[in-house]
Amino acid sequence: MSESGGAASYTVVTLTATLSTIKPRIFVRPEIRVLGVGTTLLLTVGLILGAISLSAMVPAGADLADPTQRSYATNIWQETQTSLALLAIFLPWVLYGLLFKGSRWGTGILLVIATVGTVVGTWLTSLSLESYAALPRQVTGVVAKVDGRQLTLSGGSGLYLVIRDAELTVAQPWLKPGTSVTLWVSPRGHAGYIGSAATSD
């Protein structure tokens, strides 16, 4: 308004409300892409289920005609399935981070975590496949200590039991210090079979 004696003047200011000022940001440009995340989750679940039901892809190093070695091979292959399942958790998110570009920091953090998980899963899978394909060695000794799945034989030889939970439960009543046992062991020191030396061939 002018005060110099003339007529008052006004400047008309208009405010245009756009869609971006009316609607919350989540509706305008969602930071979480529901379709992309949903598809990635479905792919992850599918790959995990496929990994845990996958049959052996490489020939076994164990003699499958021997029941004890066949039991060993079955348990060692479960290690490979577990490693593949770990790989299945991270690999789809690497693809998600590459295909669906989000914020720089968000995408960067996702890709770093998913890539590290993928690398570790691939490495563990490679080791497990090598163990399955390798010739196992038979180990006989006297139990010195049992700590969960960690087994120590007299003389200080430490082994890790990768037998199924049901097999471990059956073995617990007789798997005590002082018991003579026979095991089939992978090159990594993982025992896929354990039995009493008195009854094992």
For the domain that residue 162 is a member of, what is the CATH number?
2.40.50.140
Which of 9-18, 22-31, 99-108, 184-193 comes out lowest in average pLDDT?
A: 22-31
Residue 13 has pLDDT above 60, yes or no: no
Q: How many domains does the chain have?
A: 2
Distance, in Å, from the CA atom of 26 to the CA atom of 30, rounded to the nearest integer, reads: 5
Q: Tell me, yes or no, whether 86 and 74 share the same domain.
A: yes
Q: Tell me, yes or no, whether 179 and 191 share the same domain.
A: yes
pTM of the model: 0.71
Which of 73-77, 90-94, 155-159, 181-185 comes out lowest in average pLDDT?
A: 155-159
Domain that holds residue 90: 25-133
* Predicted local confidence at residue 95, as pLDDT: 86
Rounded alpha-carbon distances, angstroms, from residue 77 to 50, 82, 164, 187: 14, 9, 11, 14
Q: Tell me, yes or no, whether 81 and 128 share the same domain.
A: yes
Residue 18 has pLDDT above 90, yes or no: no
